[in-house]
Amino acid sequence: MFRDTEMIQFYYRGMSALSLCENSPILDPDRNFFGENHNLFTQYLVQLQQSGINQVIRDTYDNPLENILRWSLRDLHSPSIDFTPNYDDAVSYAQNFCGSQLLHNLKLITEQVNGFSDMKNEVVRVLNKEYLRPHRPIVLKVNANCGKFIFTEFDNIVKLIAPLSLSEIKEIIV
């Protein structure tokens, strides 16, 4: 459990370099990372959630679909950005589909859950388009004491709640 912030020196975020803004702030929790696809993703996930389907989704770890749907919807609507005090976890997130846990979850769902053909086909089209973008995995390393983070109910995740500038990033690890 990492609740003792005195012991944590850095937080890390694994992602795609393409997700960084080219201006200041470089990472802003108010930014809509999914643009016009935000509503499509939300509708698809809510439709699946309301269907009552609850199969196991196979990945590195197997999880019930209902958990993945809940996590994905939370991330879509959260005015914050996930970081972790664990560098290895951040590397793992950077290696997800297009450097995004949400896109990775959507990819797993569309591959493993049947039904909802029209909406599913549209989500798959968006995912295929994202896949064509060059993905360069990176890990951001940020001082934990910058005052822009809060803990979550999950011990290995903290949330960035204020914009982060390039000068506040200690290192970008490729």
- CA–CA separation, 72 and 70 (whole Å): 6
- Percentage above 90 pLDDT, the chain: 61
Long-range pairs, 57-60, Cβ under 8 A, ≥24 = 57/108, 57/109, 57/112, 57/113, 58/108, 58/112, 59/104, 59/108, 60/92
| The total number of residues written for the chain in this structure | 174
Q: Give the pLDDT band of residue 1 (cuts 50, 70, 90).
A: very low
Record the pTM.
0.86
Beta strands in the chain, from DSSP E residues, in sequence order: 10-16, 56-57, 63-64, 81-83, 137-143, 149-151, 158-160, 169-173
The predicted pLDDT at position 132 comes to: 80
The predicted pLDDT at position 141 comes to: 97
- The model's pLDDT over 160-171, given as tens digits with 9 standing for 90+, comes to 999 999 899 999
Rounded to a whole number, what is the distance in angstroms from the first to the last CA of the chain? 27
Helix (H) or strand (E) holding 116: none
Instruction: State residue 10 phi and psi, 5-degree precision.
Output: -135, 150
- The model's pLDDT over 3-25, given as tens digits with 9 standing for 90+, comes to 554 588 999 999 998 888 777 68
- The model's pLDDT over 142-154, given as tens digits with 9 standing for 90+, comes to 999 999 999 877 6
